[in-house]
Structure 1
Amino acid sequence: MNVFILGGAGFIGAHLTKKMCESNYNVTVYDRHITDKSLPDVEFTAIEGDFLTEDHFDNLLENQDVVIHLISTVSPYSSMLNITDSYRNDVIKTLELLEAAKRKRIKKVIFLSSGGTVYGDFNEVDLLNEDSNSHPLNHYGIMKLTIEKILLMYNQLYDMNNIILRVANPYGPGQDPEKKIGAISVFLDTILTRNTITVWGDGSTVRDYIEISDVIEAVMSAVEYIHTEHNVKPIFNVGTGIGTSIIEIIKQIEIITKVKAHVDYKGMRDIDVKRNVLDPRRAKEYLGFESKINVDQGIRKLLSERDKFLRE
């Protein structure tokens, strides 16, 4: 099977590229500045390009079977500073990508959406399932939700088999703490370097944290999955079903590293949801996916990989 990975040199993309190549898929990686990035030592085709200016999607998708779309040009925070970017960039270019896929008769685009933002803050439940209300509190979440709707429309109108994975809060080896995305990766690095952690609110915010190897297994399952249940939308939460607060994460890192954290608490931001924990049961039922690594194991694994990287 030929698989085209948009954003294949990023944090999730690099892990996915390695796993898919090791599983004997024919992988093409598309990303910016690809020669400057640390990619796995496996055999794949590399194409350097800019998603935002790309105008040759038809050529890129020639002979491909599946497209995995990992690219987002904004974060939840930056989407509120540059309020049109999410729509002008991500939504429009994804439409162009889908039109090219349709012309090339590619039936499946797998889109990594954001379980942490699309649901918003209006669900008074412990676990958010795929049918819960969707009221994002930032443009990033609205952009993701908009692309989801477009993918579902293409399924209905053009007999495609597009799949949406609403990923919780991924973390793990290879996530760059300098980008300030991924609380566990950022907190671990900040604590070990004896710097101060900035926490928005009182630290009681609860999230569903999922280790990167579990995320990759979910994507691999989606690649092989054929959606035939017409009464169930092909939207799947990729999470653990377990919520952990910011304070609990920091305390666990302190225990594992034996280093005291220095924390600066600031006011709660309007764009931050107090609790976001994903119900993983649909992914287990239809994709056969279930997370295996808990937060304690994941932090220890991240620390081990970090130490190994520093020694090298």
Structure 2
Amino acid sequence: MSIAGARCLVLGGGGFLGINLCRALLAAGAEVAGYGRRPHDRSALPSDLRWYDGDFADHAAIAQAVGGQDIVYHLLGGSVPAQSNAEPAADVVGSLLPSLRLIEACRAGGTGRLVFASSGGTVYGPTLPGIRITEDAPTNPITAYGINKLAVEKYLGLFRHLHGFDAVVLRVANPYGPFQHARRAQGVVGTALAHALAGEPIEIWGDGLVVRDYLHIDDVAAAMVTAGTYDGGQWLFNVGSGQGRTVRAVVEDVCALLGLPRDRIVHRPGRAVDVPYNVLNPDLIGREMGWAPSVDWQAGLVATARWLRERSAGRRTGA
């Protein structure tokens, strides 16, 4: 199946990944609809995007939206890792249970394929430093968020086994780029750039030596578009750069890009939710789908800073 002309539904189309994915799918010629809460900035959504206003917990609305779709992209789910441990039961109710009902609705409604955006940064849990994590590595998440992502993966595997349900899981690294909500408690790159551009101190949790795998959102969207029509024998893939950067190095790169002194960095106490090291091995998706990251780190950082500046200028002028 070609992505051109395919009927695609993006659940969570108003979020950071969703907006970028909708744009990429439309550019590839797909027929695209979004579902969820619209972003505050309505201009972020393409004008030719069909939209369903709805809540993830509304099973009837979800079932109606997924019916007859060729590809459903599941980007919805729960809180953020740092908040999920405070109320694990709320994450189950708000994310895991609706995800299971979604899988059932897709199967009943004849959905061609479900592509699930899992979390490569949380499902593995603590790993050995210096090792690029492969898909067969142990999974020991230390956040309720990661546990729920992993549980959805397991249910997809169960439905594949019992019913031949067509699903692809993408364990995505730490994405950054345009349309990321820079003031949420997630997304080091966007948060650091936003604070720096606003003349505010840049906070680092702990000593800043936590290592993460950062991937530009254009590369994430490209992987998801490709996964929609993948016809090989695998179904679970890492989507990452394969390169690690400490949080401190990221913030220092932000300061260097904007010509700011490093004394703008403020250290906060470390957090129990942060695994010390997480770098994904993307070789499998490269072999199976021909996907590889294409956006250079510095180029991606420059482009993200430019987008934030333009967004800020637009707000000031009312554009």
User: Under TM normalisation by the shorter chain, which class is it?
Assistant: over 0.9
| 5+ long unaligned stretches in structure 1 | none
Please give the alpha-carbon distance, in whole angstroms, between the structure 2 residues aligned to 1:126 and 1:294: 22
Please give the alpha-carbon distance, in whole angstroms, between the structure 1 residues aligned to 2:67 and 2:127: 43
What residue number does 1:224 align with?
Answer: 229
SS of the residue 2:88 aligns to: coil
Q: Which one is further off, 186-195 or 273-282?
A: 186-195
Residue 154 of structure 2 corresponds to residue 152 of structure 1: no
Please give the alpha-carbon distance, in whole angstroms, between the structure 2 residues aligned to 1:35 and 1:257: 27
Of 297, 302, 314, 1:295 maps to 297
What residue number does 1:240 align with?
Answer: 241
User: Per-residue displacement from partner, 1:213-255 (whole Å, max 9, x unpaired)?
Assistant: 000100011011023x2xx4x1111100000011111111111
Query: How do 1:270-281 and structure 2 match up within 5 A?
Result: 270-281=272-283
Of 263, 266, 289, 1:264 maps to 266
Query: 1:68 touches 1:110 (CA, 8 Å); kept in 2?
Result: yes
Paired amino acid for 2:203: T
What residue number does 2:317 align with?
Answer: none
Q: Which one is further off, 263-272 or 234-243?
A: 263-272
| CA drift at 1:125 | 5.0
Paired amino acid for 1:260: P
Please give the alpha-carbon distance, in whole angstroms, between the structure 2 residues aligned to 1:288 and 1:258: 38
| CA drift at 1:33 | 4.2
- Aligned sequence identity (%): 29
| CA drift at 1:123 | 4.0
Please give the alpha-carbon distance, in whole angstroms, between the structure 2 residues aligned to 1:307 and 1:57: 36
Query: 1:107 touches 1:159 (CA, 8 Å); kept in 2?
Result: no
Please give the alpha-carbon distance, in whole angstroms, between the structure 2 residues aligned to 1:35 and 1:298: 24
Of 188, 204, 218, 1:213 maps to 218
Please give the alpha-carbon distance, in whole angstroms, between the structure 1 residues aligned to 2:63 and 2:295: 39
Query: 2:14 touches 2:45 (CA, 8 Å); kept in 1?
Result: no
What residue number does 1:251 align with?
Answer: 252
SS of the residue 2:79 aligns to: coil
Of 9, 16, 23, 1:18 maps to 23
Paired amino acid for 1:298: G
Residue 137 of structure 2 corresponds to residue 132 of structure 1: yes
What residue number does 2:65 align with?
Answer: 60
Please give the alpha-carbon distance, in whole angstroms, between the structure 2 residues aligned to 1:7 and 1:88: 17
What residue number does 1:308 align with?
Answer: 310
| CA drift at 1:62 | 2.4
Of 86, 101, 109, 2:114 maps to 109
Of 88, 92, 99, 1:87 maps to 92
Query: 2:59 touches 2:101 (CA, 8 Å); kept in 1?
Result: no
Q: How many residues align?
A: 308
Q: With the length of structure 1 as denominator, give the TM-score of the two structures.
A: 0.94
Q: With the length of structure 2 as denominator, give the TM-score of the two structures.
A: 0.92
What residue number does 2:187 align with?
Answer: 182
Please give the alpha-carbon distance, in whole angstroms, between the structure 2 residues aligned to 1:163 and 1:307: 36
Paired amino acid for 1:248: A
User: Per-residue displacement from partner, 1:108-153 (whole Å, max 9, x unpaired)?
Assistant: 1100000000000144552001011100011000000000000111
